[in-house]
Structure 1
Amino acid sequence: MIFAYNKAHVGDVLMILVKNDNGADVTSTRCGNVTKIALKETNEVVAWNIFQASEMLGEISGVGQVVLSDEQIALLNEELAKEGFREVITQEKNSKFVIGFVKELTPHPDSDHLNIAQVEVDNGEMLQIVAGAPNIEQGQLVVVAKVGAMMPNGLVIWDGELRGVKSSGMMCSPRELQLENAPDVRGILVLEEGSATIGEAFSPEKHWHG
Structure 2
Amino acid sequence: MIFAYNKEHVGDVLMIIAADDKGQENAVERKGNVARVCVAEGNQVVAWNIFEASTIVGNIEGNGQVELTEEQLKKVNEELANVGFSETLVKENNPKMVIGFVKSCKKHPDSDHLSITQTEVDNGEVLQIVCGAPNIKAGQKVVVAKPGAMMPDGLMIWPGVLRGVESFGMICSAGELRLPDAPAKKGILELPFDAVIGEAFPVGK
Counterpart residue identity of residue 94, structure 1: N
Partner residue, 1:75? 75
Partner residue, 2:165? 165
SS of match in other structure, 2:71? helix
TM-score by length of 2: 0.97
The answer on 1:198 being equivalent to 2:201 is no
How many Å separate the matches in 2 of 1:149 and 1:117? 19
Counterpart residue identity of residue 37, structure 2: I
How many Å separate the matches in 2 of 1:204 and 1:74? 26
TM-score by length of 1: 0.95
Counterpart residue identity of residue 200, structure 1: E
Q: How far does residue 201 in structure 1 lie from its aligned partner after superposition?
A: 1.1
Q: How far does residue 64 in structure 1 lie from its aligned partner after superposition?
A: 0.3
Q: How far does residue 112 in structure 1 lie from its aligned partner after superposition?
A: 1.0
Q: How far does residue 134 in structure 1 lie from its aligned partner after superposition?
A: 0.3
SS of match in other structure, 1:191? coil
The answer on 1:139 being equivalent to 2:106 is no
Q: 1:80-91 alignment to 2 at 5 Å? A: 80-91=80-91
Distance 1:204 1:36, change over 3 A: closer
> Retained in 1: the 8 A contact 2:12–2:52?
yes
> Retained in 1: the 8 A contact 2:146–2:170?
yes
SS of match in other structure, 1:61? coil
How many Å separate the matches in 2 of 1:6 and 1:69? 17
Q: For structure 1, list consecutive stretches of 5 or more residues without a partner in the other structure.
A: 206-210
Partner residue, 1:6? 6
Distance 1:105 1:93, change over 3 A: same
Q: How far does residue 34 in structure 1 lie from its aligned partner after superposition?
A: 0.2
How many Å separate the matches in 2 of 1:30 and 1:75? 18
Partner residue, 2:128? 128
Distance 1:37 1:187, change over 3 A: same
Aligned length: 204
Output one character per residue of 1:67-125: Cα deviation in whole Å (capped at 9) or x when no partner: 00000111111111111111111111222111100001111111111110000011100
SS of match in other structure, 2:158? coil
Output one character per residue of 1:168-201: Cα deviation in whole Å (capped at 9) or x when no partner: 110000000000011111000011222x111111
Partner residue, 1:101? 101
How many Å separate the matches in 2 of 1:203 and 1:28? 33
How many Å separate the matches in 1 of 2:8 and 2:41? 35
Q: Which runs of 4+ in 1 moved over 6 A?
A: none
Q: How far does residue 40 in structure 1 lie from its aligned partner after superposition?
A: 1.0
Partner residue, 1:208? none
SS of match in other structure, 2:55? helix
Q: How far does residue 204 in structure 1 lie from its aligned partner after superposition?
A: 6.8
Q: 1:172-183 alignment to 2 at 5 Å? A: 172-183=172-183
